[in-house]
Amino acid sequence: MTADNSAPPAEQVTADDRKMPRSFLQLSIAMGVSMVGTQGTAFAFSVWTVERPFGATWWSIVLFASYAGAAGASFLIGRFLDSFGSARALHVCLWGGLITTSVELVLLAIGVFEPWMLVGTTLVSGAVAGVQQPAYAATTAWILPRAQLSRGQGVVGTISSVALVVAPALAGALLAIGSIPVVLLVDVVSFLIALVLYGLLRLQRKQIVTASGDDAESAKESRSMRVAWDYIAGRRHLLVLAFLLPFTTLMLSTRYVLRAPMVLGRAEDGTQVLALVQGIGAIGGILGGLALAYRPPKRLDGLVMGAGLVLAGLAGQALTGLNHPVLWCVGTVVINFTLPAVGGIAMALFQAQCPDNLRGRVASLVAGMLAIANPVAVLLAGPFANHPGQALAEIAVDHGVTIFGSDPIAGVSLTLVGTGVAAALAGAAALTIGPFRRASSRAGEATD
C-alpha cells in the first residue's frame, strides 16, 4: 500500500474562502509574539558579544552556529514531521525555545555565562528554529483553504517584518534602562504568551496526520524524504524553484555581511545613515507582506516570482553597492519589499501543489536548502569582497570603470552589485522555462 502523491484537485473559490480563519490569525500572532522576544534576545546578545574580547570573531561563530543548527534540523525533521504532526512539532518548538532562553537567563543571572556557552545555546536555538519554520509552514497550509495560501504567506511576512522592527527597538530600550537579563526575561514572557495562545487552539489534538499508515510500508514511506524529493523532481516548475531559491538566497544574503561596511566606509556619519537605511528598509518589508496579503497573484505565480527576483537584484541589491545614501535607501526598500512577496508566493506554490501527506517533508526539504545558503553567504561574502572583489574593482578602474570606487570599500561595492546582477540573471533565466513561468499556486493548476 502506498500513499497517493498526485496533485491536489482544483477547488472552487467561495466567499468563505476569502475570509482568514481565526485559528490562522491567532497562530500567526502567537508566532509573532515569540519572534519579538527571540529577535530582541539576538540583538542583545550581539551587543553583549561584540563588547567582549575578540567579540567580532565570537559573534561570527555564534551566527554560524545558529545557521548550522537550523540547516541540520530542517533536513532531519523532515523524516518525522508528517508522521508526528506539524502542529505537535510546533508546540514542542515553543517549549524548546522557552527552555533554552530560561537556561541562558539563569546562567547570566548567576554570572557564569561565557561566549562559548552562547555558541552552544545558539546551536540549540537554531535547531529549534530549523524545526519551527517547516512545522509552521505545514501547519498554516493545513489550516488555510488552498485559495488563501498566498494571502496567508503575506500575513506571515508582514508579522515577521513588524517583529524585526519592534524587537531591536524594544531590546535597545530595555538595555538602556536595565541589562541583558531583562531582555531575556521579556523573551521568556513572550514564549509563555505564545504557548497560551497556541494552547487555546488545541491544534495538536485536531490535526489529522495524513501520512501515518497501518502497515509497515505506509509507516516507512511516511518518513521517507526521498518521496518528497521525487515529488519535486517530477514537476519541472517545482524543481526549478527548488534550485532557484537557494541560489538567489545565497547571492542576496551577502548584503547582511556587506551592507554595514559599505555604509560605514562611505558615509560621513555612517552610524546614523546605517540606522536610517535599516529603518527605511524594514518599512519596505512590512509593505511587501501587506501587498501579498491583500493582493496575491491570481495566476502566473512563477512569472511574478521571476520578475520579483530581477527587481530585487537590479533595483535592490545592486543599488546598495553604489556610492550614494539615497541609492542605499531605495535599494534596501526595494529588496525588502520584493523578497517577502517572492518567498511567500514560492512557499504557497509548494504548499498548493503538494498533497497533504507530503507537506511537512517538502517544507522541511525546502527550508533546509534555504538554511544552507545563509551560512555559506556569511562565510564567503567578507573574504570574497576583501580579496578577489577588491582586485577586480582595481582592474575595473584600470579599464575606466569607476562606479565601484578605488578605496578599500571598492571590493564590497563590486560584490554587492555582482551578486545582485547574478540573482537577477537567475530570475530572468527561470522565466524562460515555460512550466515555471506559468506555475500557479491555485490548486489543481499543474503546469507540466
Residue 170 — very low, low, confident or very high, per pLDDT cuts 50/70/90? Answer: confident
Last residue of a domain, one of 180, 198, 222: 222
Asked whether residue 163 falls in the same domain as residue 247, the answer is no
Tell me the CATH number at 402.
1.20.1250
Q: What is the pLDDT of residue 79?
A: 67
Question: Is the pLDDT higher at 145 or at 13?
Answer: 145
Above 70 in pLDDT, residue 82?
A: no
What secondary structure does DSSP assign to 348-407, as a single string?
A: HHHHHHS-GGGHHHHHHHHHHHHHHHHHHHHHHHHHHIIIIIHHHHHHHHHTT--TT-SS
Residue 180 — very low, low, confident or very high, per pLDDT cuts 50/70/90? Answer: confident
Report how far residue 412's alpha carbon sits from residue 418's, in angstroms, rounded to the nearest whole number: 10
Position 417 in a domain: yes
Domain coverage including residue 212: 20-222
Position 251 in a domain: yes
- The average pLDDT across 67-72 equals 82
Tell me the CATH number at 139.
1.20.1250.20
Please report where in the chains the cell 545558539 appears, as a residue. Answer: 122
Asked whether residue 164 falls in the same domain as residue 239, the answer is no
Asked whether residue 152 falls in the same domain as residue 275, the answer is no
Asked whether residue 312 falls in the same domain as residue 347, the answer is yes
Mean pLDDT rounded to a whole number for the chain: 79
pLDDT digits (tens, 9 = 90+) for 224-246: 677 878 888 888 888 888 889 88
Asked whether residue 147 falls in the same domain as residue 230, the answer is no
Asked whether residue 160 falls in the same domain as residue 25, the answer is yes
Asked whether residue 112 falls in the same domain as residue 60, the answer is yes
Q: What is the pLDDT of residue 217?
A: 46
Position 286 in a domain: yes
Position 7 in a domain: no
8 A C-beta contact, residue 30 and residue 194: yes
Question: What total number of domains does the chain contain?
Answer: 2
Q: Is 280 helix (H, G, I), strand (E, B) or coil?
A: helix
Of 152, 130, 151, nearest to 139 (Cα)? 152
Asked whether residue 145 falls in the same domain as residue 182, the answer is yes
Residue 283 — very low, low, confident or very high, per pLDDT cuts 50/70/90? Answer: confident
Asked whether residue 203 falls in the same domain as residue 239, the answer is no
Which of 80-89, 132-141, 272-281, 318-327 has the largest mean confidence? 318-327
Last residue of a domain, one of 189, 222, 255: 222
Question: Is the pLDDT higher at 239 or at 439?
Answer: 239
Q: What is the pLDDT of residue 23?
A: 82
Asked whether residue 266 falls in the same domain as residue 278, the answer is yes
Report how far residue 347's alpha carbon sits from residue 366's, in angstroms, rounded to the nearest whole number: 9
Asked whether residue 354 falls in the same domain as residue 415, the answer is yes
Of 330, 251, 340, nearest to 291 (Cα)? 340
Last residue of a domain, one of 222, 239, 274: 222
Asked whether residue 142 falls in the same domain as residue 75, the answer is yes
Q: What is the pLDDT of residue 271?
A: 65
Question: Is the pLDDT higher at 118 or at 57?
Answer: 118
8 A C-beta contact, residue 448 and residue 435: yes
User: To the nearest whole percent, how much of the chain has pLDDT over 90?
Assistant: 12
Q: What is the pLDDT of residue 216?
A: 42
Residue 96 — very low, low, confident or very high, per pLDDT cuts 50/70/90? Answer: very high
- The average pLDDT across 64-80 equals 79
Q: What is the pLDDT of residue 13?
A: 43
